[in-house]
Amino acid sequence: MLKELVTKCRTFRRFYEDETISMEDLRELVNLARLTASTSNSQALKFRLCNTPEETAKVFPTLNWAGALSDWDGPEKGERPSAYIIILCDLSLGKNKLYDDGIAAQTIMLGAVEKEYGGCILASVQRSHLAEALSIDPSRYSIDLVLALGKPKEEVVLVPVKEDGDTRYYRDENQVHYVPKRTLDDIII
């Protein structure tokens, strides 16, 4: 059921880092994005896959995690993502395809959940550092989004937004992560 998959497709930021994701799995996820809608069917998005400890170690320091959790700097060693899919725009095929990025990102995340993985879409990325670390030519590609992937090691619970309207996510003392969501009636006008 799609609803079940979408509900299970939460943002996870802590992982069993030693649970690797094969290149074949990453390629299957990108293959889902290949089949999605694309502005003018330009298919300007390209994807860089990283799943070795050498490469993931280069990506991690360029990412900014969980802006709403001011006392948390991101996952510790051993709980970091075991793979990344970096969504790039091939500038020779089109300029920043922002809508295409989102469609590709969510499709890949849904595919990851189906494979019992999970992860986090990251837009807060030190792009020039990442381009340099992975030798991505910035005159040829823009770095749009980074998808961090792994075997989730945390519980994420959806809760209704309270009366005060605060949508910031938070954690309790057991590190359970809560994500407030608005009701259906609140979002249909």
Q: Which of 59, 112, 113, 122 binds ligand FMN (CB under 6 A)?
A: 122
Part in contact with ligand FMN (CB under 6 A); list of ranges 6-14, 23-31, 82-90, 126-134: 6-14
Q: Are 88 and 144 in contact (CB under 8 A)?
A: yes
Subset of residues 10 to 39 that bind ligand FMN, contact rule: CB under 6 A: 10-11, 13
Nearer to ligand FMN, 57 or 123 (CB): 123
- Binding residue for ligand FMN (CB under 6 A) from 91, 156, 171, 178? 156
Beta pairing partners, 84: 50, 148
Instruction: Rule CB under 6 A: choose which of 25, 32, 42, 66 binds ligand FMN.
Output: 66
Judged by CB under 6 A, does residue 124 bind ligand FMN?
Answer: yes
- What are the helix (H) ranges across the chain? 2-8, 23-34, 53-59, 98-114, 127-133, 184-187
The least distance separating ligand FMN from the CB of residue 24, rounded to whole angstroms, comes to 26
Joined together, the tokens standing for residue 136 give 């991505």
CB count in 10 Å sphere of residue 10: 20
Q: How far is the CB of 46 from ligand FMN (least distance, A)?
A: 18
- Give the x/- contact pattern for ligand FMN in 77-96, rule: CB under 6 A: --------------------
The residue whose two tokens read 């889902």 is 32
Q: Does 151 bind ligand FMN (CB under 6 A)?
A: no
Q: Distances in Å between the alpha carbon of 43 and those of 20, 64, 80?
A: 29, 28, 31
Closest CB to ligand FMN among 13 and 97? 13
Encoded amino acid at 153, one letter: K
The percent helix, strand, coil of the chain (3-state, each to 5) is: 30, 25, 45
Tell whether residue 64 is a contact of ligand FMN (CB under 6 A).
Answer: yes
- 98 binds ligand FMN, rule: CB under 6 A: no
Q: Please report the sign of the dihedral spanned by the C-alpha atoms of residue 4, residue 10, residue 16, residue 17.
A: positive
Interacting residues toward ligand FMN by CB under 6 A? 10-11, 13, 64-66, 120-124, 156, 169, 179
